[in-house]
């Protein structure tokens, strides 16, 4: 199976290499801003000419928004805009042009309805104070040194890796992997290089290919599995709040930048700003590490994984729970399961956003009209079931796999077209289909031949 996978390594750059990397990132930012200004100027000019009644054939020629069109225009003006362009790799300028082309396309598709989700705004100008320094290489010499601890990139030269890249280097030497691109970026005060690799991955099979697991995410526990196992929520952001508050107070006492009077930030302000960024980066790394370990375990063990289609953006509007929801990383957990389950030969089933998994009794199928968030124990008035609310929801999610096919890969969203209004008490939420069997005392409906986790 051919897959596209990313490998990321930390870099140990010398001061001269860091300046060269920042220069390359600045070149891409300059190309992005210059071409964005040209696109906006042409759009405004054509709009003004329309108001004057100028015919379409006499309007100012439109500026193409594709990467090829932006690159052609940039090659014509780069001598005047950036006389030093020969000092940087062409890939540095192409990085900024590619981001602009993607932004314009996303904005157009969002306006015309080709792109779903939240509305995408028009691209903005990039600031060297707020944007992440990054440069992407797709051509030229991209290779590892024989010691496997250095990487050679165009113009930047030989860069030292913080750890050995022997695993990726062995695959490249064996011919089972091919580097598509290399991206150098700075995050949290550290430099990283990420390789996008096209590699041949062996076909895998989960350890329990016929088992089904339902995953109910939450705040009290990061996830509760239908097998009854709660995954604790580490709450990395909460644990780091004391240090973040102290750094924020210290940063506020330093002399920061002021563009109104042209005041530059002090050295101490820059130092504490770096410490603040490193603290936030540590929280993000800890969160990412925990989510990767959880999703990898689920994808490698279970043949079918069932999750909910949560409206995370809407949930972040809750003023009391927004920070805890963002700290849990619901969206990242779902994103990682999307590709890891496929890589391991399993199947991912996504429950509909309006499926009442928490309100439905996992034993008899009765649905409650209301279930307050503070009520953590589910008590069924029909069959007398008393069960933890999250475990009950996870078992209902696992039961949804009975209505899906058994082909490998990411499954369709289950329960599309469901009624958004919660049914009355006693209505069954999970219909028992012919040929299905009831496993255990929980009433979980699974197809014949499949076992509950």
pLDDT attached to residue 374 = 86
Q: What DSSP string describes 292-337? A: HHHHHHHHHHEEEEEEE---HHHHTT-TTTHHHHHHHTHHHHHHHH
pLDDT attached to residue 447 = 37
Q: Which helix (H) or strand (E) holds 123?
A: none
Phi then psi for 327, rounded to 5 degrees? -70, -30
Burial environment of residue 408 by CB neighbours within 10 A (0 to 12, 13 to 18, 19 or more): middle
CA nearest to 94, candidates 125, 70, 123: 70
- The first and second tokens of residue 418, run together, are 């469901």
Active-site choice (309, 390, 404, 428): 390
Indicate if 289 belongs to the active site. no
For the chain, the first-to-last Cα distance in angstroms comes to 27
Burial environment of residue 267 by CB neighbours within 10 A (0 to 12, 13 to 18, 19 or more): exposed
Could you give the CA distance from residue 355 to residue 397 in angstroms, rounded to a whole number? Answer: 9
The mean per-residue pLDDT over the stretch 178-184 comes to 96
338 in Cβ contact with 247 (< 8 Å): no
The mean per-residue pLDDT over the stretch 403-422 comes to 45
Q: What's the CA dihedral at 22, 24, 27, 28 to 10 degrees?
A: -100
446 in Cβ contact with 212 (< 8 Å): yes
pLDDT attached to residue 129 = 85
Write down the residue that tokens 């499949």 correspond to.
Answer: 450
pLDDT attached to residue 422 = 45
pLDDT digits (tens, 9 = 90+) for 260-297: 998 999 999 999 999 999 999 999 999 999 999 999 99
Q: Which helix (H) or strand (E) holds 160?
A: strand 157-161
Could you give the CA distance from residue 95 to residue 25 in angstroms, rounded to a whole number? Answer: 8
Could you give the CA distance from residue 70 to residue 34 in angstroms, rounded to a whole number? Answer: 10
pLDDT attached to residue 408 = 37
Indicate if 390 belongs to the active site. yes
The mean per-residue pLDDT over the stretch 406-429 comes to 42
Could you give the CA distance from residue 308 to residue 305 in angstroms, rounded to a whole number? Answer: 10
Confidence at 140, pLDDT banded by 50, 70, 90: confident
Active-site choice (34, 91, 216, 327): 216
Could you give the CA distance from residue 376 to residue 364 in angstroms, rounded to a whole number? Answer: 19
Q: Which helix (H) or strand (E) holds 83?
A: none
The mean per-residue pLDDT over the stretch 83-90 comes to 94
pLDDT attached to residue 289 = 95
pLDDT digits (tens, 9 = 90+) for 96-131: 999 999 999 999 999 999 998 889 999 999 998 889
Give yes or no for residue 446 having a pLDDT over 80: no
pLDDT attached to residue 451 = 46
The partner residues of 159 in beta bridges, in order of sequence, read 151
Confidence at 185, pLDDT banded by 50, 70, 90: very high
Kindly give the interhelix angle for 90-112 and 67-81, rounded to the nearest 10 degrees: 130
The mean per-residue pLDDT over the stretch 186-192 comes to 92
pLDDT attached to residue 404 = 57
Confidence at 401, pLDDT banded by 50, 70, 90: confident
Q: What DSSP string describes 57-70? A: GGSPPPPP-SHHHH
Indicate if 216 belongs to the active site. yes
Task: Tell me which of 162 and 405 has the higher pLDDT.
Answer: 162
Could you give the CA distance from residue 390 to residue 87 in angstroms, rounded to a whole number? Answer: 58
18 in Cβ contact with 160 (< 8 Å): no
Could you give the CA distance from residue 289 to residue 281 in angstroms, rounded to a whole number? Answer: 12
108 in Cβ contact with 65 (< 8 Å): yes
| pLDDT above 70: percentage of residues in the chain | 89
| pLDDT above 90: percentage of residues in the chain | 70
Confidence at 30, pLDDT banded by 50, 70, 90: very high
Could you give the CA distance from residue 430 to residue 404 in angstroms, rounded to a whole number? Answer: 13
CA nearest to 305, candidates 417, 192, 400, 416: 400
Confidence at 400, pLDDT banded by 50, 70, 90: confident
294 in Cβ contact with 231 (< 8 Å): yes
For residue 418, the 8-state DSSP code is -
159 in Cβ contact with 193 (< 8 Å): yes
HSE (side-chain half, CA atoms, 13 Å) at 69:
13
pLDDT attached to residue 453 = 52
CA nearest to 268, candidates 285, 286, 251, 283: 251
Active-site choice (34, 91, 308, 327): 308
pLDDT attached to residue 44 = 94
pLDDT attached to residue 384 = 86
Which residue stretches of 302-431 are H helix?
312-315, 322-328, 330-343, 389-399
C-alpha distances in Å from residue 176, one per residue of 137, 144, 198:
21, 16, 8
pLDDT digits (tens, 9 = 90+) for 199-225: 988 889 999 999 999 999 999 999 999
pLDDT digits (tens, 9 = 90+) for 306-331: 999 988 888 998 888 999 999 999 99
């Amino acid at each position: 199976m051919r897959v596209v996978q990313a490998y990321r390594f930390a870099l140990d750059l010398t001061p001269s290499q860091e300046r060269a990397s920042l220069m390359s990132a600045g070149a891409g930012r300059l190309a992005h801003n210059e071409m964005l200004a040209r696109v906006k100027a042409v759009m405004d000019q054509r709009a003004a000419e329309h108001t004057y009644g100028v015919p379409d054939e006499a309007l100012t020629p439109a500026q193409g928004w594709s990467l090829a069109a932006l690159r052609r225009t940039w090659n014509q003006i780069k001598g005047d805009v950036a006389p030093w362009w020969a000092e940087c790799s062409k890939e540095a300028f192409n990085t900024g042009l590619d981001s602009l082309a993607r932004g314009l396309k996303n904005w157009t598709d969002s306006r015309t309805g080709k792109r779903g989700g939240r509305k995408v705004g028009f691209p903005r100008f990039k600031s060297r104070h707020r944007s992440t320094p990054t440069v992407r290489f797709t051509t030229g010499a991209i290779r590892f040194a024989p010691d496997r601890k250095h990487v050679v990139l165009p113009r930047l030269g030989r860069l030292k890796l913080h750890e050995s890249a022997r695993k990726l280097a062995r695959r490249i030497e064996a011919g089972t992997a091919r580097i598509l691109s290399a991206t150098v970026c700075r995050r949290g005060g550290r430099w990283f290089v990420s390789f996008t690799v096209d590699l041949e991955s062996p076909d895998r099979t989960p350890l329990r290919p016929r088992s089904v697991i339902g995953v109910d995410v939450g705040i009290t526990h990061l996830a509760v599995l239908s097998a009854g196992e709660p995954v604790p929520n580490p709450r990395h952001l909460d644990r780091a709040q004391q240090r973040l508050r102290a750094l924020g107070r210290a940063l506020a006492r330093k002399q920061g930048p002021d563009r109104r009077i042209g005041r530059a930030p002090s050295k101490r302000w820059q130092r504490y700003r770096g410490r603040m960024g490193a603290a936030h980066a540590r929280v993000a790394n800890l969160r990412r590490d925990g989510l990767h370990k959880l999703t990898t375990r689920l994808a490698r063990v279970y043949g079918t994984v069932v999750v909910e289609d949560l409206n995370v953006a809407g949930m972040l509007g809750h003023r009391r729970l927004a920070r805890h929801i963002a700290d849990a990383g619901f969206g990242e957990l779902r994103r990682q399961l999307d590709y890891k389950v496929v890589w391991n030969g399993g199947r991912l089933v996504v429950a509909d956003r309006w499926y009442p998994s928490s309100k439905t009794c996992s034993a008899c199928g009765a649905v409650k009209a209301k279930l307050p968030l503070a009520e953590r124990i589910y008590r069924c008035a029909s069959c007398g079931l008393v069960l933890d609310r999250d475990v009950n929801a996870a078992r209902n999610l696992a039961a949804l796999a009975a209505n899906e096919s058994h082909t490998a890969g990411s499954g369709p969203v289950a329960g599309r077209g469901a009624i958004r209004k919660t049914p009355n008490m006693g209505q069954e939420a999970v219909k028992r289909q012919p040929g299905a069997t009831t496993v255990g005392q929980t009433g979980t409906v699974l197809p014949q031949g499949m076992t509950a986790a």
